Amino acid sequence: MTLPSFVSRHQFLIYRLFSLSGLIPVGAFLVVHLLTNASVLGGAASFQSRVDMIHSLGPLLIPVEFAFIFLPMLFHAAVGFAIIAGGLPNVGSYPYMGNVRYTLQRATGMIAFAFILWHIIQLHWLGAPLGGGRFDPHHATSSAATVIAPLGVSLLYAIGVLSAVFHLSNGLWTIGITWGLWTSPAAMQRANVISIVLGVVLAAAGLGAIGGLRSTDVAAARQVETRMDDFKRMMEGQAPGADAGGHGAAGSSVTYPAADAIDLRGPSEPSALVIPTPTTSSSPPGN
Ligand code: HEM
């Protein structure tokens, strides 16, 4: 069976899966991702602890990312481009939707695609062979703030984030048409309000994160992150990292008396956690 004949035989199913994938898992991921990023507004420690939670998946993170984010997004984008190119009849055509929203849905899908590709190359480790991969999960705020610091980069991020947010919020409304969830004008109107509220909340979260990163004191954030990293290593019985202020160079062993303390506060974070300082000694951890 050739690919075109496979597609035409399973057109209905493909369109339904395309529609569903826009909501779950891709749309759900976008919501979680934007809200996580917005936690940077609570300070470097707040964002770092969320990133640590995600990275606590360890080696499982890679298959999870591929199964629930990259592959569904590639599938959605591939079918989306096929629809735009006219390769798939638009079985989800919306007689009630304005022409502008219809066109914007397609335009924002394409902008989001270009943005997401660039964003992944720039920050995700997958982009490292192309000179990107600049996000450091142990220094979440400071590394992201450094990447986004140039005004042009921030503006492109704002355009990309707003495109993705419009695409999801408007898509939420069109999904209800595709699946026959809202059929009366009154139901459509209610769905419209929900879509707009979602759009406004997500846009605020996305732009808030960009603003939060832009106003970050990178050196102070890095100190907070380094102390948190030391604390994690201490809890795992390892030596602190190389940039932990000189102590804990590779090969040294550490003990953890409660006497001394690391203050996780950056200059702008008065209420953050205070933890014990590991000190270098000749006896192994736990002795
Ligand atoms: C941020 C990632 C994305 C999310 C969260 C997302 C979400 C959605 C949702 C929820 C819909 C509504 C589906 C329906 O009406 O049944 C949709 C539609 C659509 N998406 Fe995406 N999408 C994303 C990325 C993309 C990309 C990269 C493309 C590639 C061009 C794309 C192309 C389209 C198209 C063309 C439609 C409209 C289909 C139609 O009018 O029949 N999307 N998307």
pLDDT for 259 beyond 80: no
State the pTM of this model: 0.83
In the reported structure, the alpha carbon of residue 22 is separated from the centroid of ligand 1 by a whole-number distance in angstroms of 6
Q: Atom 25, ligand 1: which residue's CA is nearest? A: 109
pLDDT for 89 beyond 70: no
Of 103, 107, 213, 217, nearest to 158 by C-alpha is 213
Domains of the chain: 3-214 (1.20.1300.10), 220-281 (no CATH)
241: confidence class by pLDDT, cuts 50, 70, 90: low
What pLDDT shows up at residue 99?
82
**Please, are residues 47 and 148 in contact by the beta-carbon 8 Å criterion?**
no
The DSSP call for residue 69 is I
Ligand 1 within 6 A of CB of 175: yes
Please give the share of the chain, as a percent, with pLDDT higher than 90. 71
Ligand 1 atom with the shortest distance to the CA of 27: 5
What pLDDT shows up at residue 252?
34
Mean pLDDT of the chain: 85
Point out the least confidently predicted range of 82-96, 172-186, 262-276. 262-276
88: confidence class by pLDDT, cuts 50, 70, 90: low
Question: Alpha-carbon distance 131 to 123, whole Å?
Answer: 10
Q: Hey, what amino acid is at 184? A: S
What pLDDT shows up at residue 237?
86
Ligand 1 within 6 A of CB of 75: no
The pairing of strands 261-263 and 253-255 is unpaired
Residue range 197-235, pLDDT digits in tens: 999 999 999 999 999 999 999 999 999 999 999 999 998
Ligand 1 within 6 A of CB of 30: yes
19, 73, 76: residue to mutate for ligand 1 pocket, most atoms within 8 A of CB: 76
What pLDDT shows up at residue 94?
53
What pLDDT shows up at residue 192?
95
In the reported structure, the alpha carbon of residue 200 is separated from the centroid of ligand 1 by a whole-number distance in angstroms of 18
Instruction: Name 275's bridge partners.
Output: 262
Residue range 141-181, pLDDT digits in tens: 999 999 999 999 999 999 999 999 999 999 999 999 889 99
pLDDT for 244 beyond 60: no
pLDDT for 190 beyond 70: yes
Taking residues 129-145, report their average pLDDT. 98
Question: Alpha-carbon distance 40 to 45, whole Å?
Answer: 8
Question: Alpha-carbon distance 244 to 248, whole Å?
Answer: 7
